[in-house]
Chains A and B, each alone.
Chain A
């Protein structure tokens, strides 16, 4: 699983849902939505140190910054290593906050002509990100 450490910088609550903004670095804020509120989960408070946890198979790869897309969790990265299988490929990515892995189709790697050293954007939907309190 991918794990990124950060601090909760902002909280938006509506009903039983909370959207947490997590500052991984000052330039990189990622969001996660959870079925909890500050009343049901004490860790949901500004300043709390958390780990953002998400699966490699949920990571989407774009070749440049995507603006016309609903995905707001966008992490600039460069490809460190590509492991190719017949159907699936694993991309090991270097980001300002550490390593990430993405599992995408081998076909997508071919179509996008992805190769080691390329600059890409790794994206993940906010409902795919879990929070782990530290």
Chain B
């Protein structure tokens, strides 16, 4: 259990804002902080990692107190067992993948944990290459592996996949899910991608101006619960075509692409990149069994 009770005055674009959070995060959960820029999401991660000091409050992780303003406890970032991954990979450019991982190792750590990570993150082919020769998705896999070298309890992810294209993003979401489970992490993810949140998160905290506006499962936050349709997916608008009488909207749902017929007025309210809920009655779709030939 992570107990987070923090207050911090922050300088936002609109002036001074007080970040006031009181969260209890169950161990092993993957939670998302969701909300517009400048509401204190990144500051929250920085305070958990020890890179920023709250004005008052407490941060407790299981039975350890990492920060307590009243009792003047403030563990150094090195002492806190936290892995941190940013949108920007922050790899050492002059080191190979393997050297980058070894550099993150604690003094008494063996090499076996690194080879496990290389296997899980599928970095075997890449371990002797330098970051400049890697793609964005490969670099982020290295950054994720590096964040896990010291076996952290908590993984902090600050929009780690935002700069990647959707196919790579989808693949890395799979890696995030795997490492979260494999290493029994408590993961805090900042993301703006509703599809990603619905896919990965157990619980969502929606922030506004430093406070929690709403919280719940991704379904209760993002999916209109009161609509009875059972065939319900979130997707991203890829293309809008106005035909005679009707509009055709192409929507990406995970890695699949579907087309939905809408009215012109409905199509005109949509833009490419919008998140949409695709919903139908369970009575409508047909199912075809996929025959597997052995």
A residues neighboring B (CB under 8 Å): 1, 32-36, 41, 43, 53, 56-57, 83, 85-90, 101, 103, 127-134
Report which of B227, B246, B282, B284 forms a contact with A35, defined as CB distance below 8 A. Answer: B282
Say which residue of A1, A53, A86, A130 sits within 8 Å of B244 (CB atoms).
A86
How many residues belonging to B are interface residues under a CB distance threshold of 8 Å? 18
Contacts of B283 in A (CB 8 A): 33, 127-128
Q: Interface SS of chain B: helix, strand, loop or mixed?
A: loop
| Residues of chain B contacted by A89 (CB below 8 angstroms) | 245
A57 touches B261 (CB 8 A): yes
Q: Is A132 a contact partner of B228 (Cβ separation < 8 A)?
A: yes
Q: How far is the CB of A117 from chain B (nearest CB, A)?
A: 21
A98 to B140, CA, bound (A): 54
Q: Are A130 and B245 in contact (CB under 8 A)?
A: no
Complex Cα spacing A133 to B228, Å? 8
Summed over the interface, the residue pairs from A and B with CB atoms below 8 Å come to a total of 50
A35 to B263, CA, bound (A): 27
* Chain A residues with CB under 8 A of B279: 130
Interface residue ranges, B against A (CB under 8 Å): 224, 226-230, 243-246, 261, 263, 266, 279, 281-284
Question: Please, which residues of chain A bring their CB within 8 A of the CB of B246?
Answer: 57, 88, 103
Known interface pairs A1-B266, A57-B261, A88-B244. Does A130 touch B227 (Cβ–Cβ under 8 Å)?
yes
Known: A1-B266, A56-B263, A101-B263. A90 touches B228 (CB 8 A): no
Q: Which of A33, A35, A87, A133 contacts B226 (CB 8 A)?
A: A133
Which of chain A's residues has its CB closest to B262's CB?
Answer: A1
Decide: A83 and B245 in contact? CB cutoff 8 A.
yes
Give the CA-CA distance A132 to B227 in the complex, in Å: 4
11 intermolecular pairs with C-beta atoms under 8 Å apart? A1-B263, A34-B228, A56-B263, A88-B245, A89-B245, A103-B245, A127-B281, A128-B283, A130-B229, A132-B227, A132-B228
Most buried by A among B230, B281, B284: B281
Q: How far is the CA of A111 from the CA of B140 in the complex (A)?
A: 61
Q: Decide if B227 touches A53 in the complex (CB within 8 Å).
A: yes
Contacts of A128 in B (CB 8 A): 281, 283-284
Distance in angstroms between the alpha carbons of A83 and B261 in the assembled complex: 17
Minimum C-beta distance from A33 to chain B (A): 8
A95 to B43, CA, bound (A): 55
Chain B minimum-CB-distance residue to A20: B228
Complex interface: chain B residues within 8 A of A83 (CB) = 245
**In the assembled complex, which residues on chain A have CB atoms less than 8 Å from the CB atom of B227?**
53, 130-132
